[in-house]
A and B are shown apart, each in its own frame.
Chain A
Amino acid sequence: MTDGVIEGQWAYVWAAYVVTWGLLGGYGLRLIMGAPKPRPPGGSS
């Protein structure tokens, strides 16, 4: 493998870990920061 190929591989690896922490972290923060408010009555059923 050339150095270029290895660098390219690491970009995918980092992308995967950043997406993981971003998605799970974002959802976790949403749960911590505030519960969703109940919807007002009168919507479709």
Chain B
Amino acid sequence: MKLAWEHYIGLAGLVLMAAGNAIGLFWAPPEMMMGDVGRILYVHVPAAWICMVIYLVAFAGAVASLATARPGADALVESSVEVGVLLNVLLLVLGSIFAKPTWGVWWDWDPRLTASAIMCLTFVGVMVLRAMVDDVERRASWSAVTTVLAFVNIPVTYMSVRWWRSLHQVQSSSSTMSAEMWNVLWLNTVALLLVSIWFVARRYRIARDRADQLRAPPLEVAP
């Protein structure tokens, strides 16, 4: 049996993620100020970065869907919005776990956290809208428009730590982390990217199959 291409990507991502997480847990040095809690960054930061990348894919799919009305573009919107929301939820939960020992609270209405929560809610809104509309063409156009609108918040979320006084630290970069930590962070980021590509590709096939079934003419009884 020949496996679809995305399964190889997913398998590579899984192996890299297991290795990257193990290195982050047991090999990477403790962070100077936060100690071992800093190890949460190796899963929290990749979730944030890849979440935004997947939302960017959803945005591209939405623009393509509006421009071409092709079913494939709509399936890309459906799959990438769902995977984006999954990573967004992961990002928020990990952020909360990270916040408690470092800030002393599980949640704060800080600009970055608030923008991230709004980002999640708006894309959940796109999913709810899709679930409520049965007409395939109308669902595609409505969800494409709402995805484009929801995407407006992504640059705001990304820049929120620089535009406003935020409790959240600024974006991690090679200038704010030691090379040892930066390399581990990138390993985990690439791993999560590969796993997410597998998620989107697999979910895309499901969305296409589902749309094809809905478009198919109803079966009729033989005379």
Give the distance in Å from the alpha carbon of A45 to the alpha carbon of B97 in the complex: 40
Using a CB-CB cutoff of 8 Å, which residues 168-223 of chain B contact chain A? Answer: 195, 198-199, 202-203, 205-206, 209-210, 213-214
CB of B70 closer than 8 Å to a CB of A = no
How many chain B residues touch A (CB < 8 A): the figure is 36
CB of B133 closer than 8 Å to a CB of A = yes
Q: How large is the interface on A (under 10, 10 to 19, 20 to 34, 35 or more residues)?
A: 20 to 34
Query: B24 — nearest CB in chain A belongs to which residue?
Result: A17
Interface of A: prevailing SS: helix
Query: B47 — nearest CB in chain A belongs to which residue?
Result: A20
Interface of B: prevailing SS: helix
B37 partner residues in chain A, CB cutoff 8 A:
9, 12-13
CB of B108 closer than 8 Å to a CB of A = no
Query: A8 — nearest CB in chain B belongs to which residue?
Result: B101
CB of B44 closer than 8 Å to a CB of A = yes
CB pair A35 B210 closer than 8 Å:
yes
Contacts from A to B (Cβ < 8 Å): 1, 6, 8-10, 12-13, 15-17, 19-21, 23-24, 27-28, 31-32, 35-36, 38-39, 41-45
Contacts from B to A (Cβ < 8 Å): 10, 21, 25, 35-37, 39-40, 43-44, 47, 86, 89-90, 93-94, 97-98, 100-101, 132-135, 138, 195, 198-199, 202-203, 205-206, 209-210, 213-214
Excluding A9-B35, A12-B101, A43-B132, 20 further A-B contacts by CB distance (< 8 Å) are A9-B36, A9-B37, A10-B36, A12-B97, A16-B39, A16-B40, A16-B43, A19-B94, A23-B90, A28-B198, A28-B199, A31-B206, A32-B202, A35-B210, A38-B213, A44-B132, A44-B134, A45-B134, A45-B135, A45-B138
